[in-house]
Structure 1
């Protein structure tokens, strides 16, 4: 019988690559990004509530989410950042080829490490520091197009927009992830699904406020679900359940196997970007950068810092 951890890993690879392709297919549609983000956060909330009700019951949901409203508000910090991050990722994917997007987004390993040291006082091994240096060099090589590459001004401006957005997303991803981990460790008693429910609830509130502030004119003239086609609904499903899927991978497998799954998805996205999209050509810089990023990703998880004896 096939192990559950390998099923989760295969599904994670499929989800990661397909999500990149779906967003690229939907980038030319005139949809409201805040509406898409709100839909995926609402779907997360509904899913988490159903899981909590099934596993823990209505009383636990009321106690930790509604009555303990102060803790729920604290979860609003990463929730706000996740909403911003989702919109940044949409914009970056619309302006970068899939391979460059996937590889550059691995810089979130660097930002997560920095915030882990600052907020959680974690130790980083020498091998991990080396992997972070390799990662940075690899991403620089991937972004380096060289003097021989001819691109129009519009393409260059579009790529710069995507690069700025993906770098900002790496920062928000690192801080939000570490802050959420800090809350999980410092406030005991609540399950991960309770915390995810609090997070999704706050995200829905933030996304709704953002929608009302930024998209009032768009909604008034074109409607809430303007130009929503099947590919947009597929993007919402993929984005909503992608984060929950990572939780299952960590539960049934481990972080090292998750890194290998991420590496496979990067390779597949690179191949798709080269053969499916005409906007990317395989260069020496890109090939070396790809290898360095994959190496750093595996190295970072394979050699963690040793825990100090108490």
Structure 2
């Protein structure tokens, strides 16, 4: 039986992740469809989020050690001396960078409703990878709960997707669908792989986040300059940034830290439920705040 502190941490991290994801979905939609200002480069937001996560994780490692010199020594030991351990982190870190860029691409080609519905396929890809990588067998009640959650999400939002479908070109929807499909696969695999690392080693949550961010920053920068180098030379790295975009950066960085807690104290199935609930929550918030699509009541 789990101790009370662990239960409290699990519940708190899941609640925070649900709220964080809901806010992130809404702000991403607003920021990518706001024609009043120039559109920012999504790849730069991913990098900025990784840099912020790196800074926060470093500070938390130093605070955890209680001494700057001892903390820096631990970081050096984990990053340089035990460099083979970093290779294990390379896989999920790279996949998360790819996933984040795919999600920004998808939300630029799909309306928020279709984006939210299609991305819930990651609940099932996660379940499949948990069986393959962790040898974790899901009970029939768990499969039924997953199916029920996904069905509820679709029924909540499906009418609006039909209403708005005529306003979206077919090829744009197709590109968005393909991006979401690959994002769901990378999310499922990376999440389960990372859960295996988190629960299989005694390394602290903050150190693992630091490792992820340290690898994620150069990979993200490489993607930025391979994909958007010409636009950056013309308009600048931070072109199109607004206060909303900076809030997105902060939310993404904090979300990465919250996911680490969920990985350590819960699992990817509970994370999937948290994400699914956030979709339903963001749907109703959008309905009341923006009145741009209506749930199926």
TM-score range, shorter chain: 0.7 to 0.9
- Residue pair 1:107, 1:135 contacting (<8 A) in 2 also: no
Partner of 1:162: 176
Total equivalences in the alignment: 281
Partner of 1:197: 210
CA distance in 1, matches of 2:161, 2:13: 42
Partner of 2:19: 14
CA distance in 2, matches of 1:275, 1:94: 23
3-state SS in 1 of match to 2:240: coil
Once the two structures are TM-superposed, the CA of residue 232 in structure 1 deviates from its matched residue by 1.0
Once the two structures are TM-superposed, the CA of residue 248 in structure 1 deviates from its matched residue by 4.4
1:77-116 to structure 2, matched below 5 A, reads: 77-116=91-130
CA distance in 2, matches of 1:148, 1:228: 32
CA distance in 2, matches of 1:116, 1:15: 24
- Residue pair 2:99, 2:183 contacting (<8 A) in 1 also: yes
CA distance in 2, matches of 1:80, 1:100: 26
TM-score, structure 1 normalization:
0.77
Partner of 1:244: 257
Q: 1:138 to 1:158 in 2, by over 3 A?
A: farther
3-state SS in 2 of match to 1:215: helix
Q: 1:254 to 1:165 in 2, by over 3 A?
A: closer
CA distance in 1, matches of 2:21, 2:164: 30
Once the two structures are TM-superposed, the CA of residue 63 in structure 1 deviates from its matched residue by 0.7
| CA RMSD after TM alignment | 3.3
Partner of 1:35: 44
Question: Where do 5+ consecutive residues of structure 1 fail to align?
Answer: 288-310
3-state SS in 2 of match to 1:92: helix
TM-score, structure 2 normalization:
0.80
CA distance in 2, matches of 1:244, 1:154: 35
- Residue pair 2:31, 2:245 contacting (<8 A) in 1 also: yes
Partner of 2:238: 225
